[in-house]
Amino acid sequence: MSTAHKNLSVYKTNGLKDMSSKRIAVVTAEWNEEVTFALRDGAIETLLKNGVKEENIISATVPGSYELSYGSQVFAQRDDIDAVIAIGCVIQGETKHNDYINNAVAQGLTDVSLKYNKPVVFGVLTPNTYQQALDRAGGKHGNKGDEAGITALKMLSISDF
């Protein structure tokens, strides 16, 4: 940023606020559960490491990623929930089924977030293969659940700005 703008209020998303009173729901799809449960655990660990209290985290499951929109809405509409993390894994198959699910859940989560004015994190992996999913769920590419957790915390911080 130019130093000419001396009177701007500058906010960076790495300035996390105090999270000790925040309540966060983590909604996880059961399809590909070896992957999604590892992502969920990564997200929850990141929340705990950054000051969210264990008793303020609610974990729920839905059958598949398509159900993440409604599952997220159930929690987003509650006054005692500040943010929702939606976790899923849709593997590219031989049909276009995956495209329909991915598009529906992306749009659905956006709608829920804007309707209830709360962060709803898209923690859905959309890999080509199951191995690529495992690589991103605690494998050689780390755990994308961590990113989902950090995203929720950053968005909660900007909500309070």
Residues catalogued as catalytic = 97
Instruction: Flag whether 40 is marked binding.
Output: no
Least distance from C-beta 58 to ligand DLZ, angstroms? 20
∠ CA 126-141-44, rounded to 5°: 75
Nearer to ligand DLZ, 19 or 29 (CB): 29
Amino acid letter, residue 129: T
Please state the closest distance from residue 27 (CB atom) to ligand DLZ, in A. 12
For residue 54, say whether it is annotated as part of any ligand binding site.
Answer: no
Using CB atoms, what's the residue nearest to ligand DLZ?
Answer: 64
Was 37 annotated as part of a binding site? Answer: no
Interface residues toward ligand DLZ, by CB under 6 A: 29, 31-32, 63-67, 88-91, 93, 97, 101
> Which residues fall in the annotated binding site for 5-amino-6-(D-ribitylamino)uracil?
31, 65-67, 89-91, 122
